Structure 1
Amino acid sequence: MIVGIGSDLCNIDRIQASLDRFGERFIDRVFTAAERAKAEKRPFTRAGTYAKRFAAKEAFSKAVGTGFRQGVFMSDIGVVNLPSGAPTLALTGGAMARLDAITPPGHAIDIHLTMTDDHPFAQAFVILFARSIPERPKL
């Protein structure tokens, strides 16, 4: 069952302006080490790479219903790739606590993420899907 849906549209030029104005301070406050490494390998699409990840963080905060309140911080939400290459989110701190709080008993949450960019916009969608965990047989 779907327990949350979020989307965000981000202006790549706005992210570039933040990178130009605040530099490392902005990057350190918002992005994880893995996200930084990915973006810094892409000098020609650096701002777009950051913008997609920024949009993913915003979309997740909407999917859990808090925005960036109640202990949910951008730095606790990181875009990573599954072995298949599909993007998903790695959560820590308040973001993980909020996801745990909305997870129905007996379920686990699968995070589905899609991102795209076409200058000047980057977009992300997050779907939180609660999957039933089969009970273990009692011995």
Structure 2
Amino acid sequence: MTIDDITEAFALLDDWEERYRYVIEIGRSLPELRPDQRNEDNRVKGCASNVWLVTHVGDGANPILTFEGESDAHIVKGLVAVTLAFYSGKHAVDIVGQDAFELFRQLGFEQHLTPQRSNGVRSMIDRIRRDARRAVSADQAVLKD
């Protein structure tokens, strides 16, 4: 599912109860992480629910990053799915320059998420962008050698 699919579906759904059901449904579409991936290194700090994020870094000067994620809470797992649809498969430099929280605002989540969930989404976005910055920095360090 692409981020365009998600935003188009949101535009068609009139009320927030339907939107929450949709978010839960797309969360169910995420593949489950392996048990060994649900570890402390992959856990996103700052989330009230357990959220795990696995970052895969491609090769090259501007690697493509892909992500896997999971949560033990239904709505949060859907928020993970939305976030991954926004970032996964993009070049590291592009990820660094994009803040998915703006997308969440445009979709109306800012008014419909508890402050605790909003903080968790922010923590997840910050983690993804930090991983992208590391991927860019690591590659530039190799280029300097």
Q: As a proportion of its length, which structure holds more helix?
A: 2
Q: TM-score if structure 1 supplies the norm length?
A: 0.28
Q: As a proportion of its length, which structure holds more strand?
A: 1
Larger relative contact order, structure 1 or 2 (CA cutoff 8 Å, min sep 6) = 1
Q: TM-score if structure 2 supplies the norm length?
A: 0.27
